[in-house]
Chain A
């Protein structure tokens, strides 16, 4: 092999910035799936990671349209601003959207509300049934390995059995950029194009590409109340209860999830640059700061992933 020093360092005309390298890798992953699978689908929650995924998919196949549909698992407790963003985006890019509704499952008696009112864990059943019903064979998710220690173990192509289960002890080795997507009928592959991105990478990319986000990511006045150390949005979904008082605060969200378990952070960051500065200075991870479901136990994420959650 040529001595590595021959090509030069960051000054080389052929150097790629880390954002370009991550973008190129993610696009490669999208195209591999489009080339090898029959029925891929992209999980779209209206959160920043899925928004970045959609942006990358639009770039990967341009000037042709994105060759797969979107799937949103609607917990029934979504932020209205996020649903509006979702519908706007779908219309603008003429995408197809499938919705799997947790509320419908509850209304039909197929799922029962949890005592703590959290609906995030309830998404697993509608998600896996939608995958089976539509016979999706590849499901893009916005999971990043930096989010959580169980996710740090996740492959880019992650094989799931007919029950959508993840078995961390039986993962395929993933070598070079040779992704192995072969699967038996009924099985599918979860694909994570943003595996190697960090939260800051996502924000820097959003800034560079001037990607529009739902307003809740930026500081705004909102009626919130305190529960388990987090600021939750007051609303019909189940808050505040007795003893919890609503107050108006200047807040923003770092993640977008179910209203029952996604907390807001105090913030006066109203621009992308201010958000990036705030995240860079934060001493808390995004999940540690704002996700109640990950605090349920030391292995909460791993346990949910084993059952088919992302």
Chain B
């Protein structure tokens, strides 16, 4: 959505970007919440509102249906449901936001995985009348699996429970216990009414007992994680720049986006998978020569030695280079309609490297509702989450997803038609801080 005057009151160049995702089941009021955030932050412009009012009237509705702001496809408006993830943009003087608006409908898992994969915060919506339900646990589990650093529990429809504190407190406590056990590092619970506008953008006049932030205030102030810079540096080589011109006869630069950490001129580095070493002779940051660069900057590195480096290689500090492996153990979310079976030949795309691979084993399938695991399921179908063991044709410099969302994630791709089959996360499934509360007697071998 295009923006309003309010941006100009803040320091424009200094504003940061927060990517967040929403999750909620069908009747929890997610569209209303999103519509309310856009509307009350004045991110909906006159012609958009007019279009919504016009469409609502022609459908015989009395009030403008804010869900029409977000349901962009013909089929979505016809059926009144959200089919696919949509991305929304809005801003306040403090921050700019990219919202992945994920549908709560049948195909929930792959859609939420899509939205959560780039999110730094997830808003999980529950209906105050129903409390924590299976779907809520599923959303918490996906947020934990995808290692979304911040989770907001929005307890909606507080107006329908007389704005009663004990109702909110009980739901918040149950959810926080569950999500913390899964390893979600930070949980914030907020009582709201999306329909009436309580605690979404404006503080509620009905809930004096609540002293915390509104949803928008929290979104504006939650720290955007720069812990990427604290991790060991990872630089997947995307493209080799060799002008071979009179002006630059010997220039040979390795272009890429720093996936994590900080790189400095003079630093000794290792190129994987070959294991050859050199030092960083120069860093070109899109036209400027710099001494230091960090994630997620797109830069070009020059090395002191003339090594054979190409797309798919990984440059890392010699002192903190990852191990390489051809045996990948990971949790995958299966996103294709066709099942994933043992023995299946696939392509594995990890950072800028795509290699042949074979699915060796599917040791277990996870039931998100109660976090129980089903051993040796034989296959994974659409929206299943399971453990896999994959053998690759070439070594990969793979980190654990827990250490780096960027270098610990991969795709499995159908070599025949290019379909994306599964989203993979290397290493342990959940942050193993404590035992998950709902695990069955067999416990975890994840």
A102 to B: closest C-beta gap in Å = 26
Q: A146-B2, A281-B4, A288-B45 are in contact. Are A63 and B251 (CB under 8 A)?
A: yes
Which B residues, 64 to 99, have Cβ-Cβ distances below 8 Å to chain A?
Answer: 69-75, 77, 83-89, 91, 96, 98
Residues on B with beta carbons closer than 8 Å to the beta carbon of A145: 86-89
Which A residues, 149 to 177, have Cβ-Cβ distances below 8 Å to chain B?
Answer: 149-153, 159, 168-169, 171-177
Which B residues, 198 to 237, have Cβ-Cβ distances below 8 Å to chain A?
Answer: 222-231
Q: How far is the CA of A195 from the CA of B17 in the complex (A)?
A: 15
Whose C-beta in chain B lies nearest to the C-beta of A19?
B13
The answer to whether A288 touches B47 (Cβ under 8 A) is yes
A85 to B: closest C-beta gap in Å = 22
A245 to B: closest C-beta gap in Å = 26
The answer to whether A15 touches B248 (Cβ under 8 A) is no
Residues on B with beta carbons closer than 8 Å to the beta carbon of A146: 1-2, 88-89
Residues on B with beta carbons closer than 8 Å to the beta carbon of A96: none
Q: How far is the CA of A145 from the CA of B47 in the complex (A)?
A: 17
Whose C-beta in chain A lies nearest to the C-beta of B78?
A299
Q: How far is the CA of A302 from the CA of B349 in the complex (A)?
A: 31
Interface status of A101 (Cβ within 8 A of chain B) = no
A300 to B: closest C-beta gap in Å = 11
Residues on B with beta carbons closer than 8 Å to the beta carbon of A7: 223, 225-230
The answer to whether B16 touches A149 (Cβ under 8 A) is no
Residues on A with beta carbons closer than 8 Å to the beta carbon of B335: 173, 175
User: A176's contact among B8, B229, B409, by CB below 8 Å, is which?
Assistant: B409
Residues on A with beta carbons closer than 8 Å to the beta carbon of B21: none
Q: How far is the CA of A122 from the CA of B343 in the complex (A)?
A: 49
Interface status of B276 (Cβ within 8 A of chain A) = no
Interface status of A111 (Cβ within 8 A of chain B) = no
User: A8's contact among B13, B70, B223, by CB below 8 Å, is which?
Assistant: B223
The answer to whether B13 touches A208 (Cβ under 8 A) is yes
The answer to whether A168 touches B73 (Cβ under 8 A) is yes
B115 to A: closest C-beta gap in Å = 10
Residues on B with beta carbons closer than 8 Å to the beta carbon of A283: 4, 45-46
Q: A4-B185, A15-B226, A24-B297 are in contact. Are A285 and B8 (CB under 8 A)?
A: no
The answer to whether B224 touches A173 (Cβ under 8 A) is no
A108 to B: closest C-beta gap in Å = 33
Q: How far is the CA of A9 from the CA of B226 in the complex (A)?
A: 7
The answer to whether B227 touches A172 (Cβ under 8 A) is no
The answer to whether A24 touches B149 (Cβ under 8 A) is no
The answer to whether B98 touches A196 (Cβ under 8 A) is yes
Residues on A with beta carbons closer than 8 Å to the beta carbon of B248: 63-64
User: B47's contact among A2, A27, A182, A284, by CB below 8 Å, is which?
Assistant: A284
Which A residues, 180 to 229, have Cβ-Cβ distances below 8 Å to chain B?
Answer: 180, 182-184, 195-196, 198-201, 204, 208
The answer to whether B262 touches A200 (Cβ under 8 A) is no
Q: How far is the CA of A15 from the CA of B392 in the complex (A)?
A: 36
Residues on A with beta carbons closer than 8 Å to the beta carbon of B227: 1-4, 6-7
Interface status of A117 (Cβ within 8 A of chain B) = no
Interface status of B296 (Cβ within 8 A of chain A) = yes
The answer to whether B298 touches A62 (Cβ under 8 A) is no
Residues on A with beta carbons closer than 8 Å to the beta carbon of B402: 1
The answer to whether A64 touches B243 (Cβ under 8 A) is yes
Number of interface residues of A (CB under 8 A): 82
The answer to whether B296 touches A195 (Cβ under 8 A) is no
Interface status of B12 (Cβ within 8 A of chain A) = yes
Residues on B with beta carbons closer than 8 Å to the beta carbon of A9: 16, 223-224
Interface status of A23 (Cβ within 8 A of chain B) = yes
Residues on B with beta carbons closer than 8 Å to the beta carbon of A285: 1-2, 45, 47-48
- Among listed B124-132, B159-167, B188-196, B418-426, interface-contacting one: B418-426
The answer to whether A298 touches B226 (Cβ under 8 A) is no
**Contact residue range for chain B?**
35 or more
Which B residues, 281 to 301, have Cβ-Cβ distances below 8 Å to chain A?
Answer: 284, 286-287, 294-298
- Among listed A31-39, A40-48, A69-77, A125-133, interface-contacting one: A31-39
User: A61's contact among B241, B406, B419, by CB below 8 Å, is which?
Assistant: B241
Whose C-beta in chain B lies nearest to the C-beta of A144?
B89
Residues on A with beta carbons closer than 8 Å to the beta carbon of B257: 24-25, 27-28, 31, 177
Q: How far is the CA of A175 from the CA of B4 in the complex (A)?
A: 31
Q: How far is the CA of A282 from the CA of B43 in the complex (A)?
A: 11
Whose C-beta in chain A lies nearest to the C-beta of B352?
A35
Which B residues, 8 to 23, have Cβ-Cβ distances below 8 Å to chain A?
Answer: 8, 12-17
Residues on B with beta carbons closer than 8 Å to the beta carbon of A289: 47
Q: How far is the CA of A21 from the CA of B298 in the complex (A)?
A: 9
Q: A18-B96, A63-B248 are in contact. Are A184 and B417 (CB under 8 A)?
A: yes
Residues on A with beta carbons closer than 8 Å to the beta carbon of B247: 63
The answer to whether B48 touches A288 (Cβ under 8 A) is yes
What is the 8 Å Cβ interface bit string for chain B, positions 340-371, against chain A (1 contact, 0 not)? 00000001010110000000000000000000
Interface status of B379 (Cβ within 8 A of chain A) = no
The answer to whether A149 touches B70 (Cβ under 8 A) is yes
Whose C-beta in chain B lies nearest to the C-beta of A209?
B287
Which B residues, 100 to 119, have Cβ-Cβ distances below 8 Å to chain A?
Answer: 110-111, 113-114, 117-118
Residues on B with beta carbons closer than 8 Å to the beta carbon of A23: 286, 298
Whose C-beta in chain A lies nearest to the C-beta of B19?
A196
A287 to B: closest C-beta gap in Å = 8
Whose C-beta in chain A lies nearest to the C-beta of B184?
A1
Q: How far is the CA of A12 from the CA of B118 in the complex (A)?
A: 21
Q: How far is the CA of A27 from the CA of B255 in the complex (A)?
A: 10
Interface status of B431 (Cβ within 8 A of chain A) = yes
The answer to whether B55 touches A280 (Cβ under 8 A) is no
Interface status of A296 (Cβ within 8 A of chain B) = no
Q: How far is the CA of A149 from the CA of B412 in the complex (A)?
A: 30
Residues of chain A touching chain B, judged by Cβ–Cβ distance below 8 Å, are 1-10, 12, 14-25, 27-28, 31-32, 34-35, 59-65, 145-146, 148-153, 159, 168-169, 171-178, 180, 182-184, 195-196, 198-201, 204, 208, 277, 279-286, 288-289, 298-299, 302-303
Q: Sorted from nearest, which 3 A-B pairs have the closest CB atoms? A: A182-B418, A288-B47, A149-B72
- In the complex, besides A168-B84, A281-B5, A289-B47, 17 extra interface pairs with C-beta distance below 8 angstroms are A1-B149, A5-B186, A25-B298, A31-B239, A62-B286, A63-B251, A146-B88, A149-B69, A151-B72, A172-B420, A175-B335, A175-B409, A196-B89, A200-B2, A208-B13, A288-B45, A298-B55
**Can you sample 27 A-B contacts with CB below 8 Å?**
A2-B225, A3-B186, A7-B230, A8-B226, A14-B295, A15-B224, A17-B13, A23-B298, A28-B238, A62-B241, A63-B251, A145-B88, A159-B418, A168-B73, A168-B75, A175-B335, A176-B423, A177-B257, A180-B411, A184-B418, A198-B1, A198-B89, A281-B5, A288-B46, A288-B48, A298-B51, A302-B72
